Amino acid sequence: MSDPTETLRAALPPLAQSRLQSLRLADGRAIVVLDAGGLDAAGRAQIEAEVKEALAGQPGVSEVRVALMADKPRRTIIAVGSGKGGVGKSTVSANLAIALSRQGRKVGLVDADIYGPSQPRLLGSEGIKPQARGDKLVPVPNQWGVPLLSMGQLIEPGKAIAWRGPMAGNALGQLVDAEWGETQVLIVDLPPGTGDVQLTMLQRHKPAGAVIVSTPQDLALIDARRAVQLFEVGQVPVIGMVENMAGYQCPHCGELSDPFGQGGAEAAAAEMGMDFLGRVPLQLAIRQASDAGTPPAAGDGPEGEAFAAIARRVGIWLDNRK
> Full-prediction pTM beyond 0.95?
no
> Is 241 in the same domain as 156?
yes
Last residue of a domain, one of 69, 85, 117: 69
Q: Is 267's pLDDT higher than 70?
A: yes
> Is 214 in the same domain as 272?
yes
* pLDDT tens digit sequence for 23-33: 988 888 888 99
Can you give the C-alpha Rg of the chain in angstroms? 24
pLDDT of residue 171: 76
Parallel/antiparallel/unpaired status of strands 107-111 and 238-249: unpaired
Residues whose CB is less than 8 angstroms from the CB of residue 54 and which lie 6 or more positions away in sequence, other chains included: 11, 12, 13, 16
The number of folded domains in the chain is 2
User: 112 with 210: CB under 8 angstroms?
Assistant: no
> Is 206 in the same domain as 223?
yes
221 vs 280: which has the higher pLDDT: 280
Q: Is 279's pLDDT higher than 50?
A: yes
Last residue of a domain, one of 52, 69, 86: 69
Residues whose CB is less than 8 angstroms from the CB of residue 245 and which lie 6 or more positions away in sequence, other chains included: 87, 88, 215, 216, 259, 260, 280, 281, 282
Question: Mean pLDDT over all residues of the chain?
Answer: 85
118 vs 116: which has the higher pLDDT: 118
Q: pLDDT grade, residue 68 (50/70/90)?
A: confident
Q: Is 249's pLDDT higher than 80?
A: no
Q: What is the CATH number of the domain that holds 35?
A: 3.30.300.130
> Is 220 in the same domain as 297?
yes
Residues whose CB is less than 8 angstroms from the CB of residue 199 and which lie 6 or more positions away in sequence, other chains included: none
Q: Is residue 6 part of a domain?
A: no
Q: Is 266's pLDDT higher than 50?
A: yes
Residues whose CB is less than 8 angstroms from the CB of residue 81 and which lie 6 or more positions away in sequence, other chains included: 89, 190, 192, 198, 210, 211, 212, 213, 227, 230, 231
Query: Within 10 A of 224 (CB to CB), how many other CB atoms are there?
Result: 27
Q: pLDDT grade, residue 156 (50/70/90)?
A: low
Q: Is residue 7 part of a domain?
A: no
> Is 102 in the same domain as 219?
yes
Residue 47 is part of which domain span? 12-69
φ and ψ at residue 100, rounded to 5 degrees: -65, -35
Q: pLDDT grade, residue 113 (50/70/90)?
A: confident
User: 236 with 77: CB under 8 angstroms?
Assistant: no
Q: Is residue 109 part of a domain?
A: yes
Average confidence (pLDDT) over 8-33? 89
Q: What is the CATH number of the domain that holds 254?
A: 3.40.50.300
pLDDT of residue 282: 86
Q: Is residue 259 part of a domain?
A: yes
* pLDDT tens digit sequence for 160-187: 554 454 555 577 888 998 999 989 999 9
Three-state SS for the chain is: CCCHHHHHHHHCCHHHHHCEEEEEEECCEEEEEEECCCCCHHHHHHHHHHHHHHHHCCCCCCEEEEEEECCCCCCEEEEEECCCCCCCHHHHHHHHHHHHHHCCCCEEEEECCCCCCCHHHHCCCCCCCCEEECCEEECECCCCCCCEEEHHHCCCCCCCCCCCHHHHHHHHHHHHCCCCCCCCEEEEECCCCCCHHHHHHHHHHCCCEEEEEECCCHHHHHHHHHHHHHHHHCCCCEEEEEEEEEEEECCCCCCEECCCCCCHHHHHHHHCCCCEEEEEEECHHHHHHHHCCCCHHHCCCHHHHHHHHHHHHHHHHHHHCC
Average confidence (pLDDT) over 84-110? 93
Residues whose CB is less than 8 angstroms from the CB of residue 32 and which lie 6 or more positions away in sequence, other chains included: 12, 16, 20, 22, 23, 51, 55, 64, 65, 66, 67
> Is 62 in the same domain as 88?
no
